[in-house]
Structure 1
């Protein structure tokens, strides 16, 4: 049996290892990676800028040689797949090292190609000093540019997860940081009143915020010198553009493969595509959202690893279904932890839920022990009080609450159920009523 996997990162190699455990000596596992690196933690890359993570090498979980030598996987680098022929069960592409074409037949295929940053067609986008951050080479280019050009002002286009993490780490090395955001707030997945806490933190940390402005072009003589929006001009020495991601599925024929509007591959609970013997997993595929009860597209490393494992099990005949996502995430932004799960109020409204919200400001631990303010918001159905989502922002304790809330959402619990939970209490960790339960009491 020949198993072919396109993509050598989280979902691809989770699947490869799962297949390896179930395969025989006669089976062949071939992985095709367009870049040079396998299995690395992309979420750690912004912290290499400040030195909190010493090197991009430190985020590599397993070098490609380990897969080849220890696990016997035919792990290839610099192999870009450009087409899949489901009728012949062949993948074809180009070996970028020698510019030679290749064709490989498969018995089972997994597409795990991930996503890439959106590159807008703004004038000047290719000037020196303009970067995005998604891969190890991206990060190394930014660091080399910082060291060689010593920019004083860094402008970040996009106030999402990566943009905010880059902002924090750029400030840590003494750069003047500006964030330009097309919407009215940072972190669009959370509601405005929670995002306002991030705005206050950014200003306290010396980050310049520009809202409701749309970048039109970059200007400069070979190197970027200015960002021009629809409302103003901003001098800059370096720019980092992270305004979203797009699934790496351009090599698939949309008349053959079922894709959603964003280009993500439609899969069922067993990670099967609409094509026989072809599975897909990770950021290039859709996620079933348990709260929305519909397919979603929230590319996260946690989901990619789970989907890859499940795809690998199904590929070798061990039936296992993917149970879906809740939409849980967390971000460190200077002194704040920012976490969310399920639906925001904005999402609940747009999806037509008959919802209510409760927001509180409380203390993450016993008030007499320490002052650790925590802002908490719950979204729930009006009549049933079934939980729909929540957000937490504070200097400590947001991670604990959001994980409890994510577990509750997974099990379709209500705010009343939250009150019945037996949660840990000790003054350094909590009050006698956990903040989640304080909020839940207000829904009775």
Structure 2
């Protein structure tokens, strides 16, 4: 009978079985042990051959110049050229993404005062003028201090008036003392003259008495006149000494009065300074807009406590920015910073409406790089059209695409100014 195909396959599989090839006689310990070792050896030789071929392949694949392909494929570290081809005038040098920021933005807070907000007259988006009232604080403390210091000024001014009056009185006393001194000196002069005359008369009378020309009674009269003149001279000199001391005393009083006047005037100046400071603090309880601009954020409301010096109390009321002066802040990779320079014209398109194109000028390159991103920040000034109201479309933090163009920026009459 002819065997079927399946039968032939079965026979072949049975012929490949190791049992039949190895036999079943294991009694001798040698009959079927060499075939597994033979297969293991063949497998090991195969792997050795594969390894040899792998390690020999780089040597065989060397090119004629002796450089291996791996070496040719390695990246080079040669520095790129310092500058590429010169850009043509009007060519776009760099397209960059950035965000709008106000050129002038101020956080409005009370200056040197703290207290409860009693009224607020602003909201987000409101346009305000410089000096316009934004809020008021409870000011009773500062008002009382101002009244006290104002009373101190009036008291100090009264002390000045009193000191000046004392100075005038001292000057009068000095004048009187000097007049008395002059009179005393005149009396001394008169007494000396009388003394001189009586002394001469007495000497003459003494000589006549010795010659017997006058009587004893007449001699005694000349002697008495001389004694009276001597006494008058002594008294006059004493009056001069007293008047001199009186002048010195009144001069000291006048000096003291002048010092009192200066001290009183200094106290007036100090009191006025305290009053002016109290007035400044009282006025600061009315918070006004520091610039013309738009209120960006509102950080406090009526009834809130604000204090610039406290850490756990709100320090500011709002933020105001001049939206007529906006800038675009861009991050330029360091390797591309040499392609741009201040003064170049820029075209700016906000992502909100790319069809609206604004003109700008690359104004400045920041003096420090950002080493975390290897970029340098640059600022582009935006020139709004004169017929566009500031803040009507462009707003801070909007995303903007900037095209830096290789030509100098020239303002046109239709651009708003940055003056």
Q: TM-score range, shorter-chain basis?
A: under 0.3
Select the structure of larger CA radius of gyration: 2
Normalising by structure 2, we get a TM-score of 0.22
Normalising by structure 1, we get a TM-score of 0.21
- Higher percent of residues as strand: 1
- Higher percent of residues as helix: 2
